[in-house]
Structure 1
Amino acid sequence: MAPLKIKGQDFVDPSGRVVPLRGVNLGGWLVEEIWMTPVVREAPQGEGFSEVKDHTSLWNTVEKRLGHDAMIRVRTAWRDKWIQASDFKRIHDLGMNHVRLPFLASLLDEPGGMNWLKKAVGWAKQNGLYVVLDMHGTPGGQSGEHHTGEEGRNRLWFDVENITKTEEAWQKLAKEFRGEPTVAVYDLMNEPTGVPNPAMLALVYNRLIQAVRKVDPDKPVLIDDAYRGFETTPHANVAGWTQVAYSLHRYLFDAKSAEEHTERLKKDLPRIKELQGYRDAPVYIGEFNLEPHGNPQVLREYVQGLDGAGFSWALWTYKTVSPNGPMGQWGIFSNPGPKPALNPFKDSEAELIAKLDQVKTENLKMAPGLTDVFRK
């Protein structure tokens, strides 16, 4: 893999060739989002358990019932089966050139936790894919959303110790991957929507970028607009930051049709391109989907719109597994019919591990019509 750098509004390889990143998120693997995974959420009454809402409550429930060692074995089985080496080949064969890899900072505190990221990078390298390392959950949490690993925690901004821990986590990651060209970009914080104001966002990003640059002076980094609008993001050139791209996530949950997504994109593109010109940096659409109105032809048109604008992008998400069957096009792959849910309140260790076979992609089906959607 050739290392990528930022030159103006593009990612380029050492020859100067423009390399837009076109890919998909590996959601549900290292950050278990319960809404798109086959897990019983509701706790039985009178047994001392609480609802399973997120990564933390899922594994705390399993540990409370079955013990620490059993929890580790079940969690390892989840990770071993949700994403495998063959998945990276599937992604390459879809016409994509990278994966965005969500993970929690707490992964680095696990014994051998870094090895999961190293394994993913190795598989990506074998299949000609770049990796965007996406810290989906910071120490303390950056939004209070469930996908930070623990719903209701938004302490990054209000406890300097958490900011310091986030700096340290990124320095550890940068030390591990600074010489690895397969890791194309560091995505410093996913959707930091809990930030009190844009000034605080700029200050924390400045600390994180400076921390990374002490270890890795060259790797591109992403900063996120926190759904506050591209115009609220700091100007990297003014701040003295180097090798910075801007991440925007695009969902339209109030859309009445798939076509409304493309219409909104066409409407928004001139302003986004104008702001991109002011910042002279790449734009990366780090998450998007057309659900709840998935339509392969319109999705193809949407992707072509992003390509035409020169943006990099990563679809959310690679796969979903629901006890009730397919979830539209939220996942490129999903289970075509109902599946038995993992019940963290009732199932034995052996039952949980056995049920995890159903999440292997080989046991899922591609959503209809997506085979050629992502090819240029």
Structure 2
Amino acid sequence: RLVKDPSTISAAFSHDPVIAAFGSETSTDSDLKDLGEHRISIIESGVADGVRIVFDNQEENLSQMVDASLNAIGSTCCDIEKFHISTLAFLSGCFWSSWMLNLSSMAERSLIVLNQSFHRSHWRHDKWLGANLGGWFLLEPGPASPLFEDCQEMLKSRGEEKASCGCEWSLCSCLDKVEKGVKSEVLRKHRKNHFDASTFKKIADHGLNAVRIPFGYWIVTGPTNADVYDGPALDQLDEAVKMARTCNLQVVLDLHGNPGGENGLRPCGREKQDWTWKEWRQEEALECLRQVVVRYRGFDNVTGIQVCNEPSPAIPSNVLCDFYEESIRVVREAGMSPHDVCIILPIFTQWRIREISRLWLERGNIHRYDNVAWDIHFYHDFHSAWSLLSHEQHVAVLQDEARELTHLHAAMVGEWSASRPGPYPEEEVKDFVMQQVLAYNHSSHGWFFWNWHDYSFYDKWDMENGVIGNGRLPRSLSELKSQSAQRFLSLQDL
């Protein structure tokens, strides 16, 4: 049936609600409408053609034959979809061939992996192509440098010694020394003005379709456990989501700073050298997530919620996965369904991808949870080893990263930049940026550049002026759609 009639592909596995979303062309299921009939027909016909080739041929150049079949699809789907179609084709062919030869164990294995592959190719939203709005609802030097500089000037004007302000915690501590009430006044003004409606319009005008908004838990609940942050400020986060909606931008709400911190570094709000992972107040974090979900579940442009950011490598993988399972439960029970919102779970560095994804698979979570994605941050910086690579080697690493992303059930690149150790030639900068866009665009479910604007103007961390403004990407990213993208993946990578 599979080989003779492409429309029976999903019917063969109709027991699975995710696979059922790939129903026949006459299906009225709302899931089918979400996914798009055109895309479904591409997947079905692509798989069917591949199955015929696998089923009817025993030739050594099988992969090239299926690749040639996929090339006929042209630009109608991106590399990650072609990769999934290839996988589905091979596994379907292997299943039927094994079944006919009475190789039951091989047939069973093919069917299991085939089922997993359907989940990988299942995605409900437009791919995120966006920028981070860091330094707004969680302060860091660089994205929020003017505020840190103003704080030092305030201290100086009062005859106070300059203090070390390298994170939001230390900034708030410094502002507390100035005068009672100053901290709340300064931070409220910053949150009102740092980004505004014109920012969102520029982002949309440049062809991006999404923003990732990092925020600290204190924006939602106010500071707890004697923390010195200032909050809550949900009314101002409301405005951010509304401004994005006005510009037809998707929003990923990113709980960037958990209570107690998911690491001891300034991106989570406080730089603390003696931090240990047991300081992470997970129950508070879950309550914070619940409140966020209840507040924003009615916004149709909120298509992602991230449960934490860059968890420390010191956190045991089983502890991390336990927290992720609880986070999924809280988010879904509070009203953000898998039909509407993707839950994003950070692995952070690629060094932990296999460790955490393997444990997740062993727990059976790939099939247990729908519309869940990993977040990986691919920075070619922060370690001297990167300085040893040539430009060509950096690009080769990008290709490896792209391949690694495709083997996750779903993934996004939540942060990346143009930065590498030391200066490097402008033509290489431009190529490095373009190669990253192609790699992540064709192997993941979305990406977000860090950051939209850097007020210290480190140009390789500034998408608005340093990347787009300097011509390292087209003025409108929609122009990339008309360019023939380099293929990072081929069937021979399977």
User: What whole-Å deviation, never above 9, does each CA across 1:263-288 have from its counterpart, x for those lacking one?
Assistant: 21112322332x32xxxx32100001
Aligned-partner residue type, residue 124 of structure 1:
A
Does residue 1:366 correspond to 2:469, yes or no?
Answer: yes
Cα separation, partners in 2 of 1:197 and 1:184, compared to 1, 3 Å: same
User: What whole-Å deviation, never above 9, does each CA across 1:228-249 have from its counterpart, x for those lacking one?
Assistant: 4221224367133332111111
| Residue of structure 1 in register with 2:294 after alignment | 175
| Residue of structure 1 in register with 2:168 after alignment | 55
| Residue of structure 2 in register with 1:66 after alignment | 179
Query: How far has the Cα of 1:7 moved from its partner?
Result: 5.9
Does residue 1:238 correspond to 2:238, yes or no?
Answer: no
Shifted more, 262-271 versus 55-64: the winner is 262-271
Contact 2:130-2:209 within 8 A present in 1 as well: yes
| Residue of structure 2 in register with 1:223 after alignment | 345
Please give the alpha-carbon distance, in whole angstroms, between the structure 1 residues aligned to 2:138 and 2:197: 18
Contact 1:101-1:131 within 8 A present in 2 as well: yes
Contact 1:105-1:139 within 8 A present in 2 as well: yes
Query: How far has the Cα of 1:106 moved from its partner?
Result: 1.0
Cα separation, partners in 2 of 1:108 and 1:271, compared to 1, 3 Å: closer
Does residue 1:266 correspond to 2:389, yes or no?
Answer: no
**Rg: which structure is higher?**
2
Query: How far has the Cα of 1:135 moved from its partner?
Result: 0.8
SS in 2 for 1:11: coil
- Gaps of at least 5 residues in structure 2 are 1-30, 36-117, 223-230, 482-494
Cα separation, partners in 2 of 1:332 and 1:159, compared to 1, 3 Å: closer
Q: TM (normalized to structure 1)?
A: 0.79
Aligned-partner residue type, residue 164 of structure 2:
E
Q: Which structure has more helix as a fraction of its residues? A: 2
Aligned-partner residue type, residue 288 of structure 1:
W
Does residue 1:247 correspond to 2:375, yes or no?
Answer: yes
Count, aligned residues: 330
| Residue of structure 2 in register with 1:30 after alignment | 137
Contact 1:140-1:153 within 8 A present in 2 as well: no
User: What whole-Å deviation, never above 9, does each CA across 1:78-106 have from its counterpart, x for those lacking one?
Assistant: 22221001111111111111001000011
Cα-Cα RMSD: 2.9
Aligned counterpart for 2:430 among listed residues 296, 305, 316: 296
SS in 1 for 2:402: helix
Contact 2:131-2:463 within 8 A present in 1 as well: no
Does residue 1:81 correspond to 2:200, yes or no?
Answer: no
Query: How far has the Cα of 1:152 moved from its partner?
Result: 1.0
Cα separation, partners in 2 of 1:321 and 1:99, compared to 1, 3 Å: same
Aligned-partner residue type, residue 333 of structure 1:
E
Q: Which has the higher contact order (CA 8 A, sep 6+)?
A: 1
| Residue of structure 2 in register with 1:184 after alignment | 303
SS in 1 for 2:283: helix
Q: TM (normalized to structure 2)?
A: 0.61
Query: How far has the Cα of 1:333 moved from its partner?
Result: 3.3
Aligned counterpart for 1:199 among listed residues 314, 318, 328: 318
User: What whole-Å deviation, never above 9, does each CA across 1:203-234 have from its counterpart, x for those lacking one?
Assistant: 11122222222212513201111324221224
> % of aligned pairs identical?
22
| Residue of structure 1 in register with 2:445 after alignment | 311
- Gaps of at least 5 residues in structure 1 are 14-18, 337-364
Q: Which structure has more strand as a fraction of its residues? A: 1
Aligned-partner residue type, residue 121 of structure 2:
Q
Contact 2:415-2:449 within 8 A present in 1 as well: yes
Please give the alpha-carbon distance, in whole angstroms, between the structure 2 residues aligned to 1:99 and 1:185: 10
Please give the alpha-carbon distance, in whole angstroms, between the structure 1 residues aligned to 2:240 and 2:446: 20
